[in-house]
Amino acid sequence: MTDAAHLHRLFDGHAVALAPALLGCELTVDVTGGDRPGSVTVVLTEVEAYGDQGEDPGAHSFRGPTPRNASLFGPPRRTYVYLNYGIHRCLNLACGPEGTAGGVLLRGAEVLDGRDLAVARRGRDTGEKLLSGPGNLGQGLGITLEMDSSPLVLTEADAGADADADAGADAGTDAGADPEADAPVRRRSAGGSEPARFVLRRPSGRPGPVSSGRRVGVSGVGGGGAYPWRWWLTGRRSVSAYRPGRDVPA
């Protein structure tokens, strides 16, 4: 089985199995419009998994589908983009069988190609912390709400961007509950075209030591030790600092 085929299969399962496998993967986001169009390629260094309806109290899907979280309920291999605190556009990748909700929040990454564009979008160069945290990552990649439910193309590390892992492509995810959990989103640009192309490549070999722990900023039980669903590449400065959410169990 190829690396891309293995990754494709992981998207059909639970987010907890997919999330650590995304570490070290290369993600290219090619934005087709807006103020700063262009392509940025990153290597993923930090991710968080979120579970199904009724399973994970930290997930947007916990209380069931809404117009805002619909991408989490399938099909897999699509993006889920949400607005956090009215500022940050956070990128997730949906997984699990259609009809179940699951996804992986992309929390941190390092630029491999297109750094000047990522810096321009961020407004300043913060070095290794440029794409640390889901808000900074979304900004550097040029993520907008119109990119919600965009298909994800899976390829081999040394394959061209047009080599799909399968004929169809899909993706989207969740992150800890926030004050705008029921806010509607705009699904597409006015012309109906995809506002960006998302290509994920899984490199051969291991990305290095991996650490895991509690999710960042998730309130209540979902932020406690019962859900140690955050993974990161050990020692990378692009990994965001841990901070607990409200009312997290000791």
Asked whether residue 28 carries a pLDDT value surpassing 80, the answer given is yes
Query: 3-233 has which CATH code?
Result: 3.10.300.10
Q: What is the mean pLDDT of residues 164-192?
A: 39
DSSP string, 127-196: GGGTTBSHHHHHHHHT--GGGTT-BEEEEETTS-TT--SSS--------S--TTTT-----S-TT---SE
Relative orientation angle of helices 15-22 and 3-10, to the nearest 10 degrees = 140
What is the distance between the alpha carbons of residues 92 and 176, in angstroms, rounded to a whole number? Answer: 12
Q: How far is CA 63 from CA 53, 69, 158, 174, 175, in A?
A: 6, 10, 41, 13, 14
Asked whether residue 182 carries a pLDDT value surpassing 80, the answer given is no
Give the model's pLDDT for residue 87: 86
Q: Which residues contact 179 (CB under 8 A, 6 or more apart)?
A: 85
What is the distance between the alpha carbons of residues 29 and 159, in angstroms, rounded to a whole number? Answer: 16
What is the distance between the alpha carbons of residues 113 and 43, in angstroms, rounded to a whole number? Answer: 10
Asked whether residue 151 carries a pLDDT value surpassing 50, the answer given is yes
Relative orientation angle of helices 134-141 and 115-122, to the nearest 10 degrees = 120
Asked whether residue 207 carries a pLDDT value surpassing 60, the answer given is yes
What is the distance between the alpha carbons of residues 29 and 37, in angstroms, rounded to a whole number? Answer: 10
Report the chain's mean pLDDT, rounded to a whole number: 87
The domains of the chain are located at 3-233
pTM of the entire predicted model? 0.87
Residues present in the chain in total: 250
Question: Residue 47 in 3-state DSSP?
Answer: strand
Q: How far is CA 61 from CA 20, 96, 136, 218, in A?
A: 21, 13, 23, 14
Note whether 28 and 199 are within 8 A (CB): yes
What is the distance between the alpha carbons of residues 60 and 76, in angstroms, rounded to a whole number? Answer: 16
Q: What is the mean pLDDT of residues 11-23?
A: 97
The least confident of 51-55, 115-119, 170-174, 222-226 is 170-174
Give the model's pLDDT for residue 192: 54
Res. 166 pLDDT band, cuts 50 70 90: very low
Over residues 89-104, the pLDDT tens digits come to 999 999 998 779 999 9
Q: What would the 3-class secondary structure string for 214-249 be?
A: CCCCCCHHHHCCCCCCEEEECCCCCCCCCCCCCCCC
What is the distance between the alpha carbons of residues 140 and 96, in angstroms, rounded to a whole number? Answer: 27
